[in-house]
Amino acid sequence: MLFRKEVLEGIAGGRIDRVFRVWAEPRVRAGSTQRTWAGIIVIDSVTAVTPEEITEEDALRSGFKSRAALLTALSKSTKEGAYHRVMLHLGGPDPRSELAGNADLTDQELADLEAALDAVDARSRRGPWTREVLRLIEEHPGLRAQDLAERLDRDKLPFKADVRRLKSLGLTESLETGYRLSPRGKALMAYLRSLGE
């Protein structure tokens, strides 16, 4: 489930605790979670509703100025299906964000990260790629994934999957557009340069 930036900011600030979607079948279920840059979103409930069941409070608590504005937005959806009210809340920070923010690494931790990159590269069918992607992101923070992938003559979706692998190690952070190295990633790159890599 995708969230606009202002909606995530509203959820993080406690102003938004529900969103509405047009779905033939619900795409999320109660109890599921979703990682976002704002933190972990927890889905509390998913309920099919008629337009008549949508209240003024629903509109305000989903980031709209009025019920009419929410209903207008829903009516413009090109998707087939019923309206669904998704109740949700911010469950806490994404553990990867906390990991990414830790740049105070010992020599052993840096060596372990280097070994983790080596292991990822060793499993790759196309050969080593981790350092090349980290250097590219370091040199071009905020550049679209499509443009980064093209610089490596790669397709966007496999490239994004690789960046997610680096993110799981706490080395990159997603921006509204593109990526950047995390503090942890910057520390690792400085360490690798000191080794002559």
Say yes or no: 104 and 54 in one domain.
no
Which residues partner with 42 through β-bridges?
33, 89
pLDDT at 41: 94
pLDDT, residue 115, reads 94
* 138 and 83 in a common domain: no
108 shares its domain with 67: no
- Check residue 178 and give its pLDDT: 92
* Same-domain pairing of 115 and 84: no
Q: Which residues of the chain have pLDDT under 70?
A: 96, 98
Which pLDDT score is estimated for 103? 82
Domain that holds residue 106: 96-196
What pLDDT does 96 receive?
67
Q: 131 and 102 in one domain?
A: yes
111-161: per-residue pLDDT in tens?
999 999 999 999 998 899 999 999 999 999 999 999 999 999 999 999 999
Domains: count for the chain? 2
List, as own/partner pairs, every contact residues 67-70 make where C-beta atoms lie below 8 angstroms and the sequence separation is at least 24, other chains included: 70/20
pLDDT of residue 71: 96
Q: Which of 29, 64, 93 is the last residue of a domain?
A: 93
Task: Kindly report the three-state secondary structure assignment for every residue of 51-96.
Answer: HHHCCHHHHHHCCCCCHHHHHHHHHCCCCCCEEEEEEEEEEECCHH
pLDDT at 100: 72
Residues 58 and 88 in one domain: yes
Q: Is residue 68 located within the same domain as residue 101?
A: no
3-state SS, residue 112: helix
Distance CA 77, CA 1 (A): 15
